[in-house]
Chains A and B, each alone.
Chain A
Amino acid sequence: MGFTENIAKQFDSLEVKDNATSTVRKNALSAFQKLGIPSTRHEEWKYTNIKSKLNEELSLTPVDSTVNAAVKNYIASLPPYAFRLIFLNGAFHPELSIVPDIKGVTVCSLKEAFSSHPALIEKYFGKLVNYNEEHFAALNTAFIDDGAFIHVQKNVQVAEPIYIQYFFTASDVNAFTQTRSLSILEQGSSINLAEDFRNASNISVQYNHVSEVYLESNAMMDMVKLQLEVSNAIGVHTLEAQVGRDARFSAATVTFSSPNTGTGNALIRNNATARLVGEGAHADLNGLYFGKENALIDNHILVDHVSPNCTSNQLYKGVLNDESTGVFNGKIFVKPDAQKTNAFQSSKALLLSNDASINSKPQLEIFADDVKCSHGAAIGQLDENALFYLRARGISKEQATKILTYAFAHEVIEHVHSKPIRQFLCDKLKDELKVNF
């Protein structure tokens, strides 16, 4: 029996029996049954043949989540963040987590929220993702078992970052692990959030993540998504943020495909959408990606300007080595009411090998007449004059290449607001490039 046939059976075997999500789950399941896994005939998946990469038999039910040494070591290597949530194969591990205990802030597992906060779940869960069109969001919404739930009350501001760590250990090769977070920020509240995805085994893992973010008026969220050392991972990420009046959403997605395990069979797809629904809202959707070996890193991003006087920036930078492939699709939609929109997009890629490639496509659809929109795309090599300048000071060609690549990439990290996370990323970037300053 194939995957699409037995999906209903897998759905019936799910343990989640809460009432708050049952309707949306059923709707998402029937949507997925119509959509299936996309092939390259689908316009949005033209360059990313995920169908051929995913196992044919996908198991969506939770798998073993025993903590191994790799998980413990990585947790020990993390900076001492005040708050952290640890997930293993989708399941929350409270014994490894440090949950904030702040008045007006609720941080718990999604599983707990399904039963303890049914009103919020019914109002917000699955309401942002477009599961009627998005294959993987539909699958996730139907099958999600656990995840992170964050609710911040009006005017509560949390300065210390909340660090969510998702580990994957492929105990079952067919496992397609579903992870998810739901963040609800009431008026005037603010948080810094990091979501870090990591393969803690030396065999291939498959996962599918959804982040839903609601920012009410004047709320602020600085979000970082880390996909570090994702060789041996097939990961699909869907981020949906709804940004209210005068609210500010900033996301940076950082993908490093360091070949620490050797097969370099990485496929990462990021769908990131910020919808500016309130007047004066702002969104930054930034990204940095390093491809190695035969990794494929695909970023599909959309800023949807629905209301007037909103601003947005998209800054994506890629460094592609070996036979890696990058895909960049950057959409800016300006709806008829969104007058005085100011939207900017820039995509730059460095191709450091003759066999590396990038498919880059800006897509602007503007239906208002008084707007400022600009986009730019550049694909190229390192500046020869800059390389010579560094070498003329005694720096080897290899080191000079690394320094200039660091400089190229660093611009994205500079935009991360949270200082400890910025510093963490800076260190990761230095490790990745082995620059010695």
Chain B
Amino acid sequence: MLSIKNLNVAINGKQILKDFNLEIKPGEIHAIMGPNGTGKSTLAATLAGKEDYEVISGEITFKGKNLLEMSADERAREGVFLAFQYPVEIPGVSTTNFMKAAVNAKRKHQGLEPMDAKDFLKLMRDKMAVVEMNKEFTSRAVNEGFSGGEKKRNEIFQMAMLEPALCLLDETDSGLDIDALRIVANGVNKLRDAERSFLVITHYQRLLNYIVPDHVHVMYGGKIVKSGGKELALVLEEKGYDWIKEEVGELAG
């Protein structure tokens, strides 16, 4: 599904990702944890194609294609989805119109006709149910005046609408109360299948109680320094990140 090899990325001239490597197979859930400022969100933004992020060297292959040659919107149409850490408010554009434009852009890419109004509304209704979203959300402007939890639910709703192959969740859990966290995680779990892969970026282990990963990686200093199964997340929860820093320090020393 996704293969990242020796990826080096800088922003504003400062290198953040250093020889980063990761392999994700279809249907797998990978979690990336780590202290703040270690490059987790840079990884997500680079994968999604944000232009401020400069790829110095390395390769990213997605479904056998060179992801780095694609613009952000092409990546999305190919099936990469980024659930934003800070979803953007778009006054004046209703969620319905936003999703209509996005779904039809993807369909056009697949050589399909735009969806007719009736089918589209049914799709909206079905996918709103995934995150227990109220009907009124769809006529409101995208994220405008939404609470933190509503914004994150809207991200998962959009994910459900666009049915991506690779879902990137960038700190989707941060700032959520337990009810919102449960709704968001249930939404994600409903979207799991044998073909769809997830990369869950989080600072806290809490989310991983709900979305159980196949692999957990610890990121530090712009690369993965430790990988393991789901139990690694529990160790991190109990012991924090200091022991990782020490281990890395010892290796370096």
Binding site for B on A (CB under 8 A): 383, 385-386, 388-397, 399-400, 403-404, 406-408, 410-411, 435-437
Question: 20 other contacts beyond A388-B51, A393-B76, with CB at 8 A cut-off?
Answer: A383-B88, A388-B88, A389-B90, A390-B90, A391-B72, A392-B48, A392-B49, A392-B84, A393-B98, A394-B102, A394-B162, A396-B105, A397-B71, A397-B73, A404-B93, A406-B93, A407-B93, A408-B92, A435-B101, A436-B104
Hey, which chain A residues are within 8 Å of B101, CB to CB? 390, 393, 395, 399, 403, 435-437
> In angstroms, how far is the closest chain A Cβ from the Cβ of B142?
8
| Nearest 4 interchain pairs by C-beta | A407-B92, A394-B76, A393-B102, A389-B88
Number of interface residues of B (CB under 8 A): 31
Q: Give the docked Cα–Cα distance between A400 and B162 (Å).
A: 17
Pair A400/B92 contact, Cβ less than 8 Å: no
Does B192 belong to the interface (CB within 8 Å)? Answer: no
Pair B105/A386 contact, Cβ less than 8 Å: no
SS of A interface (majority): helix
Given contacts A399-B105, A436-B104, contact A394 B77 (CB under 8 A): yes
26 A-B pairs whose Cβ atoms sit less than 8 Å apart in the complex: A383-B88, A388-B50, A388-B51, A388-B72, A389-B90, A390-B98, A390-B102, A391-B76, A392-B81, A392-B84, A393-B98, A393-B101, A393-B162, A394-B73, A394-B102, A395-B76, A395-B105, A396-B73, A397-B73, A399-B101, A400-B73, A404-B90, A407-B92, A407-B93, A408-B92, A410-B92
> In angstroms, how far is the closest chain B Cβ from the Cβ of A353?
19
Given contacts A399-B101, A399-B105, A437-B101, contact A391 B73 (CB under 8 A): yes
> In angstroms, how far is the closest chain A Cβ from the Cβ of B77?
4
For residue A405, which residue of chain B has the nearest CB?
B92
Q: Give the docked Cα–Cα distance between A393 and B72 (Å).
A: 9
Cβ-neighbour of A406 out of B72, B81, B92, B162 (below 8 A): B92
Hey, which chain B residues are within 8 Å of A410, CB to CB? 92
Q: Give the docked Cα–Cα distance between A385 and B48 (Å).
A: 13
Hey, which chain A residues are within 8 Å of B73, CB to CB? 391-392, 394-397, 400
For residue B90, which residue of chain A has the nearest CB?
A386
Cβ-neighbour of A391 out of B71, B81, B141 (below 8 A): B71
Hey, which chain A residues are within 8 Å of B87, CB to CB? 389
Pair B72/A392 contact, Cβ less than 8 Å: yes
Does B66 belong to the interface (CB within 8 Å)? Answer: no
Hey, which chain B residues are within 8 Å of A407, CB to CB? 90-93, 141
Hey, which chain A residues are within 8 Å of B82, CB to CB? 392
Hey, which chain A residues are within 8 Å of B49, CB to CB? 391-392
Hey, which chain A residues are within 8 Å of B98, CB to CB? 390, 393, 403
From A393, A399, A406, residue with most partner B Cβ within 10 Å: A393
> In angstroms, how far is the closest chain A Cβ from the Cβ of B72?
4
> In angstroms, how far is the closest chain A Cβ from the Cβ of B166?
13
> In angstroms, how far is the closest chain A Cβ from the Cβ of B224?
24
Q: Give the docked Cα–Cα distance between A390 and B162 (Å).
A: 13
Hey, which chain A residues are within 8 Å of B102, CB to CB? 390, 393-395
From B51, B76, B105, B106, residue with most partner A Cβ within 10 Å: B105
Q: Give the docked Cα–Cα distance between A437 and B117 (Å).
A: 11
